[in-house]
Amino acid sequence: MQLGAQPTETAEKENASQSASIRHTQFKARIAPKSYLIVSSDICHEDEKSGSIYMSAEDLSKRIANTALATLFKQAKAYLYPIVEYIEVEGNAVKVVFKNAGRGLMAKGKPPVKGFALAGHDHQFFEAEAKIEGNTVFLESKYVRQPKFVRYGWGNNPKLTLFSLDGLPAMPYTNDR
């Protein structure tokens, strides 16, 4: 299971997010044989009064069960999360193509999709506007003229809004590490 959301009680600098760095390390380690990474940040909720984060045990259990049913018992269950397959820079825009997107991608909640950021050679990340077409997301930021780096769902408590049409969240991602 990928590290879930963490409290953001301190003035978090997105570039220094330890939770996001751990998630990125887990993402890279998922290539080990017979290992599966289950995204959980989207099923974590922050208690407004206490600031504590709690995870939906029911949702997490369903994801774990679907992974086991699909991989061990060959049942038709959605268990593969959308993952960035490749990125192409096209002028001041970036094309992000996802694998495991099944029938396509969607913004969960109020469109447009949120959570993407772009940076140039200076590694200064700015929020990016995102447009979904099938299994591809097109990004632009008025603050980044020559984008080089992309992040999605980066931070201690990321708001994951990009999902497959099967209802699984896209994995948090960065290509600057």
The structure's pTM equals 0.86
Quick one: how far is CA 119 from the chain centroid? 17
Q: What is the reported pLDDT for 16?
A: 63
Q: What is the reported pLDDT for 15?
A: 58
Instruction: List pLDDT tens digits, range 70-122.
Output: 999 999 999 999 999 999 999 999 999 999 999 999 999 887 899 999 999 99
Q: What is the spatial distance between Cα 154 and Cα 158, in angstroms, rounded to a whole number?
A: 6
Domain ranges of the chain: 14-72, 83-174
